[in-house]
Amino acid sequence: MSPTGARPDRPRAAARPAAAPTPAPAPAPAPRLQGRRPAWARTCLILLALGQGLPGAWALLWPRGFYDTYPLPGHPWVAGFPPYNEHLVHDTGAAGVALAVLAAWAARRPHPLLVRAAAVPALTFGVAHLVFHSAHLGHPAGLEEGAQVLSLVAPVVCAAAALLAAHGTPRTAAGAPPEHPQAHPPVKEETQE
């Protein structure tokens, strides 16, 4: 045996030429919402962005004014839950703005995964908010009660409708869009002689 480990009585095999690099597969087209789904998703997400963003910005920029007068002067819904806490109102406003940014982004580019990513947190917040206030509405009468109920139910309906608009679009188990069938063409197997 030689120092390289090759047996001297056998001829060396000729080196094979290096295979040409395989071009990268084309990216799979992203699944899109079909039919009226993009319009429904956009409408619901825009309403969510406005409904969370405007009060959120108000609470973020002017927490005391939000606490004392939200939603309108003379109708202080938040002040009915004392005591005032500037930090809590400010941070709640920041969370509302963050949810609004996500909803606006999803409305701008209604890819199914982005729509879901915006709708699920909005639905989670909306349901928790609705459940709390359903048990703590107090005793508003007439229009005041109707306005409070509408302001609690509308975000839940919008988030659920946006989520339904994105439902049934293709996705893999990991949540990524499925690969395009032509993205990875079959590889020819080389026969060895």
Compute the distance between CA of residue 52 and CA of residue 151 in angstroms, rounded to an integer: 11
The CA distances from residue 73 to 57, 65, 70, 79, 164, in Å, are 17, 10, 7, 11, 36
pLDDT, tens digit (0-9, with 9 covering 90-100), for 38-54: 888 999 999 999 999 99
Task: Name the region of 109 (left: φ>0; alpha: ψ -120 to 50; beta: rest).
Answer: beta
pLDDT of 173: 44
Tokens of 90: 């400010």
pLDDT band at 13 (very low <50, low <70, confident <90, very high): low
pLDDT, tens digit (0-9, with 9 covering 90-100), for 164-178: 999 875 554 455 555
pLDDT of 144: 80
The verdict on pTM exceeding 0.75 is no
pLDDT, tens digit (0-9, with 9 covering 90-100), for 56-83: 999 999 999 999 999 988 888 888 888 9
pLDDT band at 136 (very low <50, low <70, confident <90, very high): confident
Compute the distance between CA of residue 47 and CA of residue 22 in angstroms, rounded to an integer: 47
Q: Mean pLDDT score of the chain, rounded to an integer?
A: 82
pLDDT of 180: 46
